Amino acid sequence: MDLLIDSFRDKDKILGILKHIKHETKKLQKPLNIMEVCGGHTHSIMKYGLNKLLDGDINFIHGPGCPVCVMPKNRIDNAYEIAMQDDVILLTLGDMIKIPGSKGSLQQARSQGCDVRFIYSPMEALKVAQENQNKKVVFFAIGFETTTPMTAALLQRVIEQNINNLFFHINHVLVPPPLEAILDSKDCNIDALIAPSHVSVITGAKIYKPLLKYNIPIVVGGFEPLDIMDSVLRIINQVNSNEVKLEIEYSRVVSMEGNIKAQELVDTYFVTRKHFQWRGLGDIEDSALRLKDEYARFDAEIIFDDILSKSPIADNKACICGEILRGVSKPVDCKVFGKVCNPLNPLGSCMVSSEGACAAYYKYKNVC
C-alpha cells in the first residue's frame, strides 16, 4: 500500500505533469480560478506546495467541503445545550468537540462536568447506549454524503436491537446545493471545480452533472499531489479545447453511479430538509438531511425541542470564515489569522477543523 501511495507522490511524475501544465497554460487568456471543494484537497495543495508550483497560472479557491467548518453556531449551541442536561451522554466525531458556539464549545461543556465523548466510529454509540441504559445517549451526527450511510447503518442497528435510549441530532449536509449557491452568487469568479472524491465514492460523480449548466469544467480528483496535478491538467485541456464536461480522475475508487447500497440505506431513513443554515452561505433550501417522520422517536431535535436554540447566530466580527467558505477570501486576508486566531485559540471553525483552510495555511505556513 505504501508503494502505491508513494507512486502518487513521486517528485519526477509531479514535475512531469507540471511541464505539461506549463505548456498548456500558455494558451490560456488568463490564470484559471479553480475551486477545490474539499478540505482534504486544500491540505494536500498546501502540504506539497502545489499552489506555489502553479502560481501565476492557477489560483486555488478553497471551497465549503469541510462539514465541521460549515456548521453554524446555532447547531453547535444545540450540541452544547443537549450536553448540559443531567441525564445525557453526548457523542460526536473528531473536531466538533473544539468548535466554539455562542455559549461555549463541547470541550468547555465537558470541563464543567458534562458527559461529552468523541468516538471514532458511529457504531461505538451502540456500546455506550447499552452500558448506560439509564441515560439518554445522543449522537451528534455531522458530515457530507460520505458519512451519512454510517449514521443510517447505526440507526438500522438501533432499531434491530430495540435500543430505546439512543437518539440522533442530524447535521448531515449535501455537496451540490452550496456549490450552486456559490456559483449563482454575484461575486463568483470560479472557472472550474475539483470535486470531492470521498463524497463521490458514495454518491457517484453523477451528482455534479446539474452543475454543468454553469459551463465550467468539473473533475472528480483524488487527494494525492499527482491526482490534483492531473485534475488541473484535465481542466486546462477542457478550457483550451472549449469542451466543458464532467471527468473522473479518481477512477480507481470513484464511478459515475457510486455505491448504490449506501444510497439506498440513506434513502431508507433520511429526507432533505426544506431549510438549513450554512456558516457563511446562509439558508440554502434542500441542502441537508433529517430523519424521516416515521423515525421521529429517535430525533433529538424533537426530543429536546424545548431547550434548543433556533435562531441564526452571527459569527465573530473579526473572523472571515464565511468569506473563506464562499471562496471570496483566503486565510491570509484575515487580520487575525495566525495572531489572535490560531489552533490554540481559534475564533472560527476554519481554524478549528483539521480540514479547515485556515488550519492548512497555519500548519503549512513554511511551505505556502
Supply the pLDDT for residue 312: 81
pLDDT at 368 > cutoff 60: no
- Predicted confidence at residue 127, as pLDDT, reads 97
State how far the Cα of 66 lies from the Cα of 117, in Å rounded to an integer.
21
Strands (E), 7-145: 32-38, 58-65, 88-93, 115-119, 136-143
Percent of the chain surpassing pLDDT 70:
98
Distance CA 102, CA 75 (A): 10
Q: Which residue has the higher pLDDT, 321 or 203?
A: 203
Which has the minimum average pLDDT: 216-230, 262-276, 322-336? Answer: 322-336
Residue 249 has pLDDT above 80, yes or no: yes
Largest interatomic CA distance in the chain: 68
Give pLDDT, residue 24. 96
Interval 135-144 mean pLDDT: 97
Q: How do strand 289-291 and strand 270-272 relate by DSSP bridges?
A: antiparallel
pLDDT at 4: 64
Contact 194, 41 (CB under 8 A): yes
What fold is seen in the domain 78-173+288-307?
Answer: Rossmann fold (3.40.50)
DSSP result, 302-350: HHTGGG---S--PPPTT--HHHHHHTS--GGGSTTBTTTBBTTB-SSHH
Per-domain boundaries in the chain: 1-72+175-258+316-368, 78-173+288-307
| Contact status, residue 179 vs residue 18, Cβ threshold 8 Å | no
Backbone angles phi, psi at 140, to 5 degrees: -85, 95
Class of domain 1-72+175-258+316-368: alpha beta
